[in-house]
Amino acid sequence: MLMPGMELDESYRFMNKLRKQLNDTPFEGVEVFPHGCLSFSAGVAPYQVDMYNKSQLVDQADKALYYAKKQGKNNVHRHGSNDGMEHEIDLVQDVRDIEQQLNLFRYKDMDTFKHSKRVYKYALDISELLALDNAEKRRFVLGALIHDIGKLEIPWSILNKKDKLTAEEWETIKGHVTWGKKMVITNDRFADLIPYIELHHERYDGKGYPYGLKGNEIPRLCRMLTVIDSFDAMTTERPYQETKNVEEAIRELRSCSGSQFDPELAELFIQYIEKRTAQQQLQ
């Protein structure tokens, strides 16, 4: 059901009223049902301007419906709300399950395995700075952890090549965002992480891949992941990129602010890194 012009809370009240009206409507034989009436559960999700795919809205409403059923059915649940089952999401178990998949990198590319773990740790810290709610935090940190899963499909010879990549090999590298999406889309549990896998190489100026999205067309937390991912790639030894120290990487972030990176999010991350570095030097 599409409800144009309605805010989330308004649509939630509408669906609850409809649910209650059905509950209170007499039908012969309903006494055999668990609630003693006809009933339904509903999930409500708001459209957001940075949704790049219409299926995201359906997926979020479906996830909210799942939580409504988990609370005993005959319920309406708002996606992203901090009540009910969403408080009980076992992030630790989700991380453990994703890490089991990432363990395949241990034989193929240890650098990608370590990179994914570091990006995940950065995302945990940044989620606190951004004051994300439970649902946003889960998606962001798990998306950070799994963002490079598609590189499992890249041949070992390309993934570990020390020389400069050819144009054809670079196209193969770029394909990891599409392969990662295909790998994750088969698992409903992690399907909401697809934007982080597919869009972490989009650029703020629209010159990224795979879609060439620009500015706010890219979901905000995906823009944040791009900053984190790039910083770690710059400061860590990689097969196809020179290593920079923290100061050089910060200069690069600022130099590319407004082109590759969201200026506001890049500066927030820089302030976090500078503060963390200063604390480490005092220890």
Tens-digit pLDDT profile for residues 42-54: 999 999 888 878 8
Contacts of residue 2, defined as CB under 8 A and 6 or more positions apart, other chains included, come to: none
pLDDT at 131 over 80: yes
Give tens-digit pLDDT for 87-114.
445 677 888 899 889 988 887 888 888 8
Q: How confident is the model at residue 283 (pLDDT cuts 50, 70, 90)?
A: low
For residues 6-24, give the mean pLDDT: 91
Residue 169 scores a pLDDT above 80: yes
37-46: average pLDDT: 91
Q: Under a CB-based contact definition with an 8 Å cutoff, are residues 229 and 140 in contact?
A: no
Residue 3 has pLDDT above 70, yes or no: yes
**Portion of the chain with pLDDT greater than 70, in percent:** 93
Kindly report whether the global pTM for this prediction surpasses the value 0.75. no
Phi-psi category of residue 132: left, alpha or beta, with phi > 0 → left and psi -120 to 50 → alpha = beta
The tokens of 62 are what?
Answer: 């479906």
Quickly tell me which residue has 């650098």 as its tokens. Answer: 111
Output the CA torsion sign for 115, 116, 119, 124: negative
pLDDT of res. 280: 76
Q: Is the pLDDT of residue 126 over 70?
A: yes
Q: Are the C-beta atoms of residues 228 and 126 closer than 8 Å to each other?
A: yes
d(CA 213, CA 205): 8
Q: What is the mean pLDDT of the chain?
A: 89
Interacting residues of 64 by C-beta distance below 8 A, sequence separation 6+: 42, 43, 44, 45, 77, 78, 79
Q: Which two tokens stand for residue 177?
A: 């965002």
pLDDT higher for 277 or 267?
267
